[in-house]
Structure 1
Amino acid sequence: MFWIATILSEALNIYKWILFIYILMSWLPNLANSSVGALFARVCEPFLAPFRRIIPPIGGVIDISPMIAFLALWFAQVGIFSIAAIFG
Protein backbone atom coordinates (compact mmCIF):
# COMPACT_ATOMS: atom_id res chain seq x y z
CA MET A 1 0.00 0.00 0.00
CA PHE A 2 2.86 2.37 0.76
CA TRP A 3 4.24 2.11 -2.78
CA ILE A 4 0.87 3.24 -4.16
CA ALA A 5 0.97 6.24 -1.83
CA THR A 6 4.48 7.04 -3.03
CA ILE A 7 3.46 6.87 -6.68
CA LEU A 8 0.39 9.07 -6.07
CA SER A 9 2.49 11.53 -4.10
CA GLU A 10 5.05 11.76 -6.89
CA ALA A 11 2.27 12.31 -9.42
CA LEU A 12 1.01 15.19 -7.27
CA ASN A 13 4.56 16.59 -7.07
CA ILE A 14 4.81 16.55 -10.85
CA TYR A 15 1.43 18.24 -11.13
CA LYS A 16 2.53 20.91 -8.64
CA TRP A 17 5.54 21.66 -10.86
CA ILE A 18 3.32 21.85 -13.94
CA LEU A 19 1.00 24.22 -12.08
CA PHE A 20 3.94 26.34 -10.91
CA ILE A 21 5.31 26.62 -14.45
CA TYR A 22 1.84 27.53 -15.73
CA ILE A 23 1.56 30.31 -13.15
CA LEU A 24 4.98 31.67 -14.13
CA MET A 25 3.99 31.49 -17.80
CA SER A 26 0.92 33.61 -17.08
CA TRP A 27 3.25 36.52 -16.26
CA LEU A 28 4.74 36.33 -19.76
CA PRO A 29 1.94 37.00 -22.28
CA ASN A 30 3.90 35.81 -25.33
CA LEU A 31 4.61 32.47 -23.69
CA ALA A 32 1.14 32.07 -22.18
CA ASN A 33 -0.49 32.57 -25.60
CA SER A 34 1.74 30.03 -27.33
CA SER A 35 0.88 26.41 -28.07
CA VAL A 36 2.86 25.35 -24.99
CA GLY A 37 0.82 27.80 -22.91
CA ALA A 38 -2.38 26.32 -24.33
CA LEU A 39 -1.22 22.83 -23.36
CA PHE A 40 -0.45 23.92 -19.81
CA ALA A 41 -3.81 25.74 -19.64
CA ARG A 42 -5.62 22.59 -20.73
CA VAL A 43 -3.97 20.67 -17.89
CA CYS A 44 -4.17 23.32 -15.14
CA GLU A 45 -7.35 25.34 -15.70
CA PRO A 46 -9.81 22.54 -14.83
CA PHE A 47 -8.12 22.25 -11.43
CA LEU A 48 -7.85 26.01 -10.83
CA ALA A 49 -11.38 26.90 -11.96
CA PRO A 50 -13.22 25.79 -8.78
CA PHE A 51 -10.78 27.75 -6.61
CA ARG A 52 -11.25 30.84 -8.78
CA ARG A 53 -15.03 30.58 -8.43
CA ILE A 54 -14.74 30.47 -4.63
CA ILE A 55 -11.94 33.05 -4.18
CA PRO A 56 -12.25 36.17 -6.32
CA PRO A 57 -9.11 38.13 -7.21
CA ILE A 58 -8.09 40.70 -4.63
CA GLY A 59 -8.73 44.16 -6.02
CA GLY A 60 -9.65 42.50 -9.29
CA VAL A 61 -5.95 41.97 -10.00
CA ILE A 62 -4.20 39.61 -7.56
CA ASP A 63 -5.31 36.00 -7.93
CA ILE A 64 -4.54 33.98 -4.80
CA SER A 65 -6.45 30.91 -5.93
CA PRO A 66 -3.24 29.12 -7.07
CA MET A 67 -1.91 29.36 -3.50
CA ILE A 68 -5.08 27.72 -2.21
CA ALA A 69 -4.79 25.10 -4.97
CA PHE A 70 -1.22 24.30 -3.85
CA LEU A 71 -2.48 24.01 -0.28
CA ALA A 72 -5.18 21.57 -1.44
CA LEU A 73 -2.55 19.47 -3.23
CA TRP A 74 -0.42 19.45 -0.09
CA PHE A 75 -3.40 18.30 2.00
CA ALA A 76 -4.05 15.57 -0.57
CA GLN A 77 -0.47 14.33 -0.23
CA VAL A 78 -0.69 14.31 3.56
CA GLY A 79 -4.00 12.47 3.33
CA ILE A 80 -2.58 9.87 0.98
CA PHE A 81 0.25 9.04 3.36
CA SER A 82 -2.07 9.09 6.37
CA ILE A 83 -4.37 6.57 4.71
CA ALA A 84 -1.38 4.46 3.70
CA ALA A 85 -0.10 4.48 7.29
CA ILE A 86 -3.48 3.40 8.64
CA PHE A 87 -4.13 0.64 6.10
CA GLY A 88 -0.51 -0.10 5.19
Structure 2
Amino acid sequence: MYMLYEILYYAMQAYTYAIIIYILMSWFPGARESSIGNFLGSIVEPYLEPFRKIIPPIGGMIDISPIVALFVLQFAMRGLGFLFFNLL
Protein backbone atom coordinates (compact mmCIF):
# COMPACT_ATOMS: atom_id res chain seq x y z
CA MET A 1 0.00 0.00 0.00
CA TYR A 2 2.90 2.30 0.76
CA MET A 3 4.31 1.77 -2.74
CA LEU A 4 1.03 2.97 -4.28
CA TYR A 5 1.20 6.09 -2.12
CA GLU A 6 4.78 6.76 -3.22
CA ILE A 7 3.90 6.37 -6.90
CA LEU A 8 0.95 8.76 -6.62
CA TYR A 9 2.91 11.22 -4.49
CA TYR A 10 5.87 11.38 -6.87
CA ALA A 11 3.59 11.68 -9.90
CA MET A 12 1.83 14.64 -8.28
CA GLN A 13 5.19 16.14 -7.33
CA ALA A 14 6.40 15.83 -10.93
CA TYR A 15 3.18 17.47 -12.12
CA THR A 16 3.79 20.32 -9.68
CA TYR A 17 7.25 20.84 -11.18
CA ALA A 18 5.77 20.73 -14.69
CA ILE A 19 3.31 23.50 -13.75
CA ILE A 20 6.08 25.63 -12.25
CA ILE A 21 8.29 25.21 -15.31
CA TYR A 22 5.38 26.03 -17.59
CA ILE A 23 4.64 29.19 -15.59
CA LEU A 24 8.28 30.28 -15.70
CA MET A 25 8.37 29.72 -19.46
CA SER A 26 5.96 32.62 -19.86
CA TRP A 27 8.76 34.96 -18.77
CA PHE A 28 10.89 34.08 -21.80
CA PRO A 29 9.74 35.12 -25.27
CA GLY A 30 8.97 32.16 -27.51
CA ALA A 31 9.61 29.55 -24.85
CA ARG A 32 6.03 28.26 -24.87
CA GLU A 33 6.15 27.87 -28.65
CA SER A 34 9.12 25.49 -28.45
CA SER A 35 8.65 21.73 -28.51
CA ILE A 36 9.10 21.49 -24.73
CA GLY A 37 6.65 24.35 -24.22
CA ASN A 38 4.07 22.67 -26.45
CA PHE A 39 4.52 19.38 -24.60
CA LEU A 40 4.15 21.00 -21.18
CA GLY A 41 1.19 23.03 -22.44
CA SER A 42 -0.62 19.89 -23.55
CA ILE A 43 -0.10 18.39 -20.09
CA VAL A 44 -0.65 21.44 -17.87
CA GLU A 45 -3.31 23.49 -19.67
CA PRO A 46 -6.20 21.03 -19.08
CA TYR A 47 -5.58 21.35 -15.33
CA LEU A 48 -5.15 25.14 -15.36
CA GLU A 49 -8.17 25.85 -17.59
CA PRO A 50 -10.89 25.48 -14.90
CA PHE A 51 -8.97 27.78 -12.58
CA ARG A 52 -8.63 30.41 -15.30
CA LYS A 53 -12.40 30.34 -15.82
CA ILE A 54 -13.04 30.95 -12.11
CA ILE A 55 -10.26 33.45 -11.33
CA PRO A 56 -9.93 36.37 -13.75
CA PRO A 57 -6.54 38.03 -14.31
CA ILE A 58 -5.74 40.98 -12.08
CA GLY A 59 -5.54 44.18 -14.09
CA GLY A 60 -5.93 42.16 -17.27
CA MET A 61 -2.31 41.03 -17.15
CA ILE A 62 -1.45 39.20 -13.93
CA ASP A 63 -2.81 35.66 -13.83
CA ILE A 64 -2.86 34.20 -10.32
CA SER A 65 -4.84 31.10 -11.25
CA PRO A 66 -1.70 28.90 -11.53
CA ILE A 67 -0.82 29.79 -7.94
CA VAL A 68 -4.28 28.71 -6.79
CA ALA A 69 -3.96 25.55 -8.90
CA LEU A 70 -0.66 24.75 -7.19
CA PHE A 71 -2.23 25.24 -3.76
CA VAL A 72 -5.07 22.88 -4.68
CA LEU A 73 -2.58 20.29 -5.91
CA GLN A 74 -0.59 20.59 -2.68
CA PHE A 75 -3.75 20.16 -0.61
CA ALA A 76 -4.58 17.07 -2.68
CA MET A 77 -1.13 15.67 -1.95
CA ARG A 78 -1.61 16.22 1.78
CA GLY A 79 -5.07 14.68 1.59
CA LEU A 80 -3.59 11.67 -0.14
CA GLY A 81 -1.13 11.26 2.72
CA PHE A 82 -3.94 11.56 5.25
CA LEU A 83 -5.98 8.91 3.44
CA PHE A 84 -3.12 6.45 3.21
CA PHE A 85 -1.67 6.84 6.69
CA ASN A 86 -4.58 7.77 8.91
CA LEU A 87 -7.56 5.99 7.41
CA LEU A 88 -6.07 2.82 5.94
Structure 2 alignment gaps of length 5 or more: none
Question: What whole-Å deviation, never above 9, does each CA across 1:23-55 have from its counterpart, x for those lacking one?
Answer: 111111221111221111101000000000000
Q: How much has 1:5 moved relative to structure 2?
A: 1.5
Structure 1 runs (4+) deviating above 6 angstroms are none
**What is the identity percentage for the equivalent residue pairs of Structure 1 and Structure 2?**
44
Instruction: Tell me: higher relative CO, structure 1 or 2? Use CA pairs within 8 A at least 6 residues apart.
Output: 1
Structure 1 alignment gaps of length 5 or more: none
2:3 is matched with 3
2:64 is matched with 64
Which of the pair is proportionally richer in helix? 1
The CA RMSD measured in Å over matched residues stands at: 1.1
Specify the code of the residue in structure 2 equivalent to 1:30. Answer: G
